[in-house]
Amino acid sequence: MNSFQITKKDKKTRARLGVLTTPHGVVNTPGYIFVGTYGRFLHLDHEDLKRTKSQIFIANTFHLWEKALKSKLKEGFIHKSFGFDIPIMTDSGGFQVLSLAFGDKNKVGKFMTGETTDPIKRTKIRITQKGVHFNFKGKKMFLGPELSMKLQRIIGADIIFAFDHITSPLDDFAYNQKALELTNKWAHICLKEHEKQSRLRKRSGEPRQMLFGIVQGGIYPALRKKSAKYIGSLPFDGFGIGGAYTKKQIAKVLKLIIPHLPEEKPRHLLGVGKVADIFEAIENGIDMFDCVIPTREARHGRLYTRAGYMDIRRGAYAKDKKVIEKGCGCPTCSGGISRAEIRALIKNVDREQNARGQRWCLMHNMWFFNQLLEDIRNSLGTSSYQRLKTKMLKNFPTA
């Protein structure tokens, strides 16, 4: 029921085309994975999502934790409770609890944008061999590999991730080395617990979930290489590449680790997906990636067109009767919804009106990225791929 077939390999790069099959359908790769943290997309219903050509999405264990435990749905919680019948994956929650310590003040998140070089002080969380203790909304909580596997089994996505230890770009080699040891240890615990959970699922007739291991190692080549070799040798169904980076380091990291991962298994780049990143990742052998950018920016009124960004809130669009992008096949543009109409809605302080505006923006951006990926898949290995890449990099200069 679960499988990954590589259908074509590019001769010049590490790029490949593939088909990932899950119990809820297939995913053509390389594919874009939108982030629906709470198991759904704000302002979009199931039909809306389908109309954006979305093949799959990713939700989050940390955010679904409580709801899943309270749910009376014993099997297939995530698909049943939100009514989506496409493939879904869940992140382990590791990133969420560990990045609590990164802190906003340092401007250190997944990417470092601040100037600071002060090391991270993890005062808000306590990391042990078993997992992460942290405070959340005034409550003492704990999440670790074993619990994450249990939760992800209950949530019931088609693909789940191992619980890993992400580091910050500000962590030194020694810290990254220690963190990597934990990630490796936790990988074993996840595999073991996953087998246990899979037997439970089998007993109730549920299909096996694919488990992806995660490569870490920060910005240190030696650690990345070591991590890729080690995690790649374990019996995971696929691999995620995790971590926080300074800008422009993703490509270097990918070049280093991809050769050490099993060719026949899918590779997922976690949390990265600006336009330029897409090409970089695919050419380095990535099959899928998730990113909040398309949906978050849509909610903020930044729309994507082949000619570049467009902030629909600008006054210039107040009386613009044109659609966002001529010839675009998205539900918004093909439905003839004008720029002026979308602008008026998204600028409206009324919650419902605003939500309607966000819905048009979301569907457009999601379509844009799905269509871009489809075009990439169709053109890979030909000169039109290069033309597409050149054009896109020119029109989306900000990484």
Q: Report the half-sphere exposure of 81 (CA within 13 A, side-chain side).
A: 22
Q: Which residue of 18, 145, 301, 331 would you call a contact of RNA, by CB under 7 A?
A: 301
By CB under 7 A, name the one of 8, 247, 391, 394 that touches RNA.
247
- Per CB under 7 A, 316 contacts RNA: yes
Peptide bond into 221 cis (omega under 30): no
Question: In the window 23-42, what residues touch RNA (CB under 7 A)?
Answer: 34-38, 40-42
Q: Does 63 bind RNA (CB under 7 A)?
A: yes
Contact 257, 224 (CB under 8 A): yes
> DSSP letters along 51-116, please?
HTT---EEEEHHHHHHHHHH-S--S-HHHHHHT--S-EEEE-SHHHHHGGGT-TTTTBSSBB-S--
232 vs 243 by CB, closer to RNA:
243
Q: By C-beta, is 107 or 387 nearer to RNA?
A: 107
Task: Identify which of residues 174 and 349 has a Cβ nearer to RNA in the complex.
Answer: 349
Active site includes 237?
Answer: no
Residues 76-135 that bind RNA (CB under 7 A): 91-92, 94-96, 99, 109-111, 113
- Site for RNA contains 270 (CB under 7 A): yes
- The residue from 103, 169, 238, 242 that contacts RNA (CB under 7 A) is 242
Q: Give the HSE-up count for residue 211: Cα atoms under 13 Å, Cβ half-sphere.
A: 29
Q: Residue 123 or residue 398: which is nearer to RNA going by CB?
A: 398
Stretch that binds RNA, among 71-79, 191-199, 236-244, 257-265 (CB under 7 A): 236-244
> Burial, 16: exposed, middle or buried (Cβ in 10 Å; 0-12, 13-18, 19+)?
buried
Q: Which of 90, 86, 89 is nearest to 26 (CA)?
A: 86
Residues in the chain: 399
Which residues have a Cβ under 8 Å from the Cβ of 30 and sit 6 or more positions away? 15, 17, 18, 278, 281, 282, 286, 287, 288, 289, 373, 376, 377
Give the binding site for RNA (CB under 7 A): 34-38, 40-42, 58, 60, 63, 91-92, 94-96, 99, 109-111, 113, 161, 164, 166, 214, 216, 240, 242-244, 247, 270-274, 277, 290-293, 295-297, 299-302, 311, 313-316, 318, 347-351, 354-355, 358, 398-399
